[in-house]
Structure 1
Amino acid sequence: MQAPFHLCFSQASCFDMRESQEVQLCVEDYAVNETKPVESNDLLNQIDQPMNGFLNHADKPMNGFLNNADQPIIKHQRSYRRWFLITLYSVFVLSGQAAATLLGRLYYDKGGNSKWMGSLVQVVGFPILLPYYCITTRKTPSRDSILPNPSASALALVYVSLGLLVALTSYLESLGLAHLPASTFALITSSRLAFNAFFSFFLNSVKFTPYLINSLVLLTLSPTLLAFQPENEISSGNSKHNYVLGFIASVAGSAAYGLLLSLTQLSFLKVLKRNTIRVLMDVIVYESLVATIVTLVGLFASGEGNKLHTEIEEYEMGKVSYLLTLSFSAICWNFFNIGCVGLIFETSSLLSNSIVVLGLPIIPILAVFVFHDIMHGIKAISLVLAVWGFLSYLYQYYLDDKSSNTDHILNTSTLEDINDQFGKA
């Protein structure tokens, strides 16, 4: 901000000296030739030309300064819009995650057995976005349209890779939710933030700070404690083997989810390179399409697709409730996915995952009332550690945001000092 202004001011000084010399030469020339008959209009034109040039050059620094003075207002407007979107996406994440997890647990409690169906509802809800997606494609191109378009092969690699990772994450989490109580599953998946920070260190150049390290340690200890559950935690009809399988699947799903968010952020920065809603919708729609195709193949290849008719007939709450449970679960997961990708789009994968972790303590509390899950001592300690780990990370994000705002204030104050000097001159 400062360098262009100083350059412009020095140019104005040069023009001032040069134009003053031209005025002096014109006056001297008139004095030497005052005995000659000169038309008054010609003389005025000769004097006006250098003066007009001087005024035009003098106006340029002031106009440039006024444009710079408007920038803080524009930045504040963009900041308000950005925080509104962050809040909206956070609501999508928190509400979508809690509702979808409880509906998924309800599906298994009332007779649902298909792990691939539990995975499918997490990715199949994207068609409800297609009308909005079509509207965004008709809008006029933004200033980001001047950037070169990524190659078709690069886009295909991004969408297919993310889609495969989404399908893997969905299946692992569906397997974990099928064999674990909702409260235990939610606490284990709080380790997503730790995995995400680990991958972000290598993929997104995130620096580890004391508060971030503290957050990672706490979020690692939280799910680890759940490995030492009392025997009465294992629900009826569920073996110790299935409990261990669900525990391992949930941890693996959390690791895959952390990698997914880091790769999504890397794709925005290195391949997509556009800050538009169209790019956001492309990522959500295409990765969900790939994940849906992969999950459908797995559903019928595993033989679970052939058993769906029997599953519907034997569902305890009836056929209509079966369809409604899966439908609303798909819608809730879709809102969750929109919120996650939107937060990555506006901030970073780490903040997106921290909002996800923020919502996880809500699920165990709701599960106690909805499914009568037992909240024993180990689970309560795990919940406290998860919340503590999230708050530690949130405080680090607050420090980073405060530091960024301080730099902006310093730049604005420097600009005002330059304005005072210009006014005195």
Structure 2
Amino acid sequence: MAKLSCRASDRLLLAINYALLIGGSVSSTMLTRFYFIHGGSSRWLTTIVQSSAFPLLLIPIIISSTTTSTPIFSNFTPKLLLLCLAIGLLNGVNNLLISWGISYLPVSTSSLILSSQLAFTLILSALLVHQPITFVNLNCVILLTLSSVLLAIGSEDGDRKDGITKLQYFLGFIATVGAALLFSLYLPLVQLVYKRLSKYKMVMEMQVIMQGAATGLALVGMVAGGGVEEVRKEGKGEGEFEYGGEVYWGVVVVVTGVCWQMCFMGTAGLVFLTSSLNCGICMTATLVVNVVGGVVVFGDGFGGVKGVSCVLCLWGFCSYFYGEYRKKKEEEME
């Protein structure tokens, strides 16, 4: 967490990004699951919703620009712009893979596979941004991964999706593995870019470009794949989605889009303020929080194995941040 100073404003900004990541990740996952459980079937819709709320970021960007008298996007070079577009397209592919995985796999299985991104993130962070591998972060990675393994082992039958063929299950499995690999590459990659930035405002500007590129990719795919007609039918209440057009557009599209944008902005902010590994740990911890959310919202079973899984997750999460706190205190005393 080298970038963060001891100022109250910086601590507040860090706390806001933690809240955005955790709140956005849990709520967006729950809402996406709600859509598929109640008859929704458009994977292109759930892909585009993950990035299409990016214009909301222009509000704080414009406010920040008026207070500092700095024009928006004025610090972008052609090289940085192309890099943002490339990362955005990578993010768009990742969004599509996540949608396919959520639509085909049970929650426990997708959580297990997605948790593998933490080990990949640790390795790639060590290679790309020279993240030191210490007992603290290695212990946290092991505990969180074990937590997810127990989560999968202790899954209830009600967690599994009915009517899924072996081919669909296999496609969902491959898609989720791909999403985990791409996300573990995305985190240290953006950390490399953010190392050259000094202002949080520019992180938001980069997010606008990245999310815009991801949305453009999803729109092209939706048009080419015939997804527009599917969305039109569901939006008019003619599809299999059970709650009609108002809930479809208001909740599935608008609210879910805002929640996804909160998640991605929190992700970018944590990478900028702390590190890609720290962000990956938070993302993995939210997988277990999603299980608790499933119990509360959807009435999923919660047995002893899931309880142990949650304890291990909390243990790993707290031990990591206590280790970081001790490290920071020792650095301040030197």
TM-score, normalization: structure 1? Answer: 0.69
Correspondence for 1:239 = 165
Displacement of 1:173 after TM fit? 1.3
Q: Distance between the aligned counterparts of 2:309 and 2:113, measured in 1? A: 9
Matched, 1:275 2:201: no
Mark the CA change 1:394 to 1:131 in structure 2 (over 3 Å): closer, same or farther: closer
Q: Distance between the aligned counterparts of 2:102 and 2:263, measured in 1? A: 17
Q: Distance between the aligned counterparts of 1:94 and 1:105, measured in 2? A: 17
SS in 2 for 1:238: coil
Correspondence for 2:247 = 321
Please identify which structure carries the higher helix content: 1
Correspondence for 2:24 = 96
What per-residue deviation string (whole Å, max 9, x for no partner) do you get for residues 285-307 of structure 1? 00011010011111122222222
Q: Distance between the aligned counterparts of 2:208 and 2:61, measured in 1? A: 9
CA contact (8 A) 2:101 2:172 kept: yes
Matched, 1:302 2:225: yes
Correspondence for 1:170 = 95
Correspondence for 1:189 = 114
Correspondence for 1:179 = 104
Correspondence for 1:118 = 46
Correspondence for 1:370 = 297
CA contact (8 A) 1:173 1:253 kept: yes
Count of paired positions: 323
Matched, 1:211 2:136: yes
SS in 1 for 2:164: coil
Q: Distance between the aligned counterparts of 1:121 and 1:221, measured in 2? A: 31
Matched, 1:253 2:179: yes
CA contact (8 A) 1:187 1:382 kept: no
Q: Distance between the aligned counterparts of 2:148 and 2:31, measured in 1? A: 22
Mark the CA change 1:192 to 1:388 in structure 2 (over 3 Å): closer, same or farther: farther
Correspondence for 1:135 = 63
What per-residue deviation string (whole Å, max 9, x for no partner) do you get for residues 154-176 of structure 1? 11232112101211221111111
Q: Distance between the aligned counterparts of 1:387 and 1:191, measured in 2? A: 18
Q: Which has the larger radius of gyration?
A: 1
Displacement of 1:141 after TM fit? 6.2
Amino acid paired to 2:134: T
What per-residue deviation string (whole Å, max 9, x for no partner) do you get for residues 337-392 of structure 1? 12111112222222222222333322101202322323456555544444443334
SS in 2 for 1:169: helix
Mark the CA change 1:77 to 1:253 in structure 2 (over 3 Å): closer, same or farther: closer
Q: Distance between the aligned counterparts of 1:388 and 1:156, measured in 2? A: 40
CA contact (8 A) 1:215 1:389 kept: yes
Matched, 1:359 2:282: no
Amino acid paired to 1:359: T
Matched, 1:285 2:208: yes
SS in 2 for 1:316: coil
Unpaired runs of 5+ in structure 2? none
Displacement of 1:265 after TM fit? 0.8
Correspondence for 1:25 = none
The percentage of aligned residue pairs carrying the same residue is 33
Matches within 5 A, 1:37-116: 78-116=6-44
**Higher deviation after alignment, 326-335 or 183-192:** 183-192
CA contact (8 A) 1:93 1:336 kept: yes
**Among 310, 317, 330, the residue aligned to 1:390:** 317
CA contact (8 A) 1:175 1:250 kept: yes
Q: Distance between the aligned counterparts of 1:195 and 1:339, measured in 2? A: 20
Mark the CA change 1:397 to 1:191 in structure 2 (over 3 Å): closer, same or farther: farther
Mark the CA change 1:380 to 1:97 in structure 2 (over 3 Å): closer, same or farther: same
Unpaired runs of 5+ in structure 1? 1-75, 143-147, 408-425
Amino acid paired to 1:259: L
CA contact (8 A) 1:180 1:247 kept: yes
Q: Distance between the aligned counterparts of 1:263 and 1:212, measured in 2? A: 19
Q: Distance between the aligned counterparts of 1:381 and 1:108, measured in 2? A: 28
SS in 2 for 1:373: coil
Mark the CA change 1:184 to 1:365 in structure 2 (over 3 Å): closer, same or farther: farther
| Structure 1 stretches of 4+ moved >6 Å | none
SS in 1 for 2:198: coil
**Among 346, 349, 358, the residue aligned to 2:273:** 346
Correspondence for 1:3 = none
Mark the CA change 1:386 to 1:161 in structure 2 (over 3 Å): closer, same or farther: farther
What per-residue deviation string (whole Å, max 9, x for no partner) do you get for residues 182-222 of structure 1? 45534543333322212110111111112222222333444
What is the RMSD of the two structures over their aligned residues, measured on CA atoms? 2.7
TM-score, normalization: structure 2? Answer: 0.86
Mark the CA change 1:266 to 1:151 in structure 2 (over 3 Å): closer, same or farther: same
Correspondence for 1:266 = 192
Amino acid paired to 1:316: E
